[in-house]
Structure 1
Amino acid sequence: MSVAFTKEESAETASETQLPDRPISEHPNLVTADGLKALERQLAEAQAALEAAAGIDDVNEKRRQSALPLRDARYLTERVRTAQVIDPPTSHDVVAFGSTVTFERDDGRVQTYRIVGEDEADPKAGTISFVAPVAQLLMGKAVGDVAVMSGRELEIIKIA
């Protein structure tokens, strides 16, 4: 095997294992206290995966095993560094960051979401990001207020 072929193969392998950075949002990094704990836990998991990969003897396999946790560690380090913990709302008069809001759509569907930071949002689990269009629409509104989104009405029926 020629040295040129070996170097080319290594270069290809390296380029396959250098993942681009995860994009960082332009919005303030608002988080709940639980959201910060989750970010710190995920960072610790990424660092543990990097440590495990460091013990692999084969250089190419080490690169492959390190790629994802390295990218995640860079992202999570920045997100933990810039996190701004927002205390839970002290009032349930209006929808705010950290509020759990229940609203009824004009088609009769009732939905409940807690408004949280971008990294902790999971609509299937009942949380949405404060920058999500529906969250932006509902924030600052009170029970009984109606918001219109894409021609559809959403009436706030509960804030907790």
Structure 2
Amino acid sequence: MSVAFTREESAETAAEVELPDRVISPHPNFVTPAGLELLKTAIATARAAVAAAQTIEDINERRRAAAPAARDLRYYTARVASAQVKAPPPKADVVSFGHEVTFEREDGRKQVFRIVGEDEADPASGSISYVSPVARALIGKSVGDVVAVNSQEIEITAIK
């Protein structure tokens, strides 16, 4: 009877630490050269975390520690495998992937964003995903063009 209880507890513990895979975007995995390096760094970080977790003696604690890192490792490995490196075009006359775009909002605020891949996007640091609503509205446009985003108009003032 106690053996069955132990097995049940182990099965429950194992299920507790099996995390669902991170969702992989259905969009093409465009990345900048720097974005590809970020993905490779994330793989190395996840591998190190999995290795560190393997040194934990208690099996349940080891599983709990390894689960998030293993999930990240699967995700980033898949993202590197599907990565399509795209360098920005040499001309900056029309907004495209990799460009830095400056625009002005109706309220006078100026913003600058670089259009990058989904995994490297960080709006707080000045980069947005190419599939974001703002980027989709800007791609293919030129300086002076006005586009509507979320019921607001923005005017492109510079492309680098």
Find runs of 4+ consecutive structure 1 residues off by over 6 angstroms. none
Paired-residue identity, %: 59
User: What are the Cα deviations for residues 101-138 of structure 1, in whole angstroms up to 9, with x where unaligned?
Assistant: 01001111111100000000010110000000110000
Alignment match, 1:47: 47
User: What are the Cα deviations for residues 73-93 of structure 1, in whole angstroms up to 9, with x where unaligned?
Assistant: 000000001100001220110
What is the deviation of 1:5? 2.0
Aligned length: 160
State the superposition RMSD in angstroms: 1.1
Alignment match, 1:147: 147
**Counterparts in 2 of 1:39-78, with a 5 A limit?**
39-78=39-78
Q: Distance in 2 between matches of 1:3 and 1:136?
A: 59
**Which sections of structure 1, spanning at least 5 residues, go unmatched?**
none
Q: TM-score scaled to structure 2, two decimals?
A: 0.97
User: What are the Cα deviations for residues 19-63 of structure 1, in whole angstroms up to 9, with x where unaligned?
Assistant: 000001000000000000000000011011111111222111110
Q: Distance in 1 between matches of 2:64 and 2:74?
A: 16
Q: Distance in 2 between matches of 1:153 and 1:55?
A: 55
The yes-or-no answer on 1:2 pairing with 2:2 is yes
User: What are the Cα deviations for residues 125-160 of structure 1, in whole angstroms up to 9, with x where unaligned?
Assistant: 100000001100000100000001232110000111
**Which sections of structure 2, spanning at least 5 residues, go unmatched?**
none
Q: Distance in 1 between matches of 2:63 and 2:51?
A: 12
Q: TM-score scaled to structure 1, two decimals?
A: 0.97
